[in-house]
Structure 1
Amino acid sequence: MIIPYQELNAETLNNLIADFVSREGTDNGFDQDQESRIQQVIGLLKSGEVSIVFDPQTESVNIIPAKEAQHYESMINHS
């Protein structure tokens, strides 16, 4: 399920993104502080390049490229 970032309150959105940018494997190769990385992800959400998705099976939330999110959403809707 795609979760529109605009529907999350600011604190929840910030915490979700902070968790995302602190995960292993999300290092972008630049020496940026966490706040800069959070702002970068917010920009990607606003531009529509990435989406927030909720997986009901694992009850987890992730941020993925928007094209993948749309594909994921269509797979769930056709299950």
Structure 2
Amino acid sequence: MIIPYQHLPQSTLQALLEEFITREGTDYGEREIDLATKVAQLLEQLKRGEVVIVFDPALETTSLVAKREAEAMGLMNG
């Protein structure tokens, strides 16, 4: 199920983005980017519709996935 980011309280969205970013715990880029910048970048991807929030009720987990991946999973309407 897709959860529109606009439906989440700001504090919940912030925590979700931070948890997603820090999940792997490693930064492989040429230069390290601070957490606030990564959160802002991910939020912009949500706003542009490139990334969506997916909730799996069976597993009770939430994740962020690329829109095309959500489409391939049959989660997107239209």
Please indicate the TM-score interval, normalised by the length of the shorter structure.
Answer: 0.7 to 0.9
| Structure 1 stretches of 4+ moved >3 Å | 25-28
Pairwise CA RMSD: 1.8
Structure 2: which 5+ residue stretches go unaligned?
A: none
Scaled by the length of structure 1, what TM-score is found? 0.84
Aligned to 1:36: 37
Correspondence for 1:64: 65
Alignment identity in percent?
Answer: 43
Q: TM-score, normalised by structure 2?
A: 0.85
Q: Aligned residue pairs: how many?
A: 74
Aligned to 1:63, the other structure's residue is in SS state strand
> Which has more helix, going by share of residues?
1
Partner residue in 1 for 2:55:
54
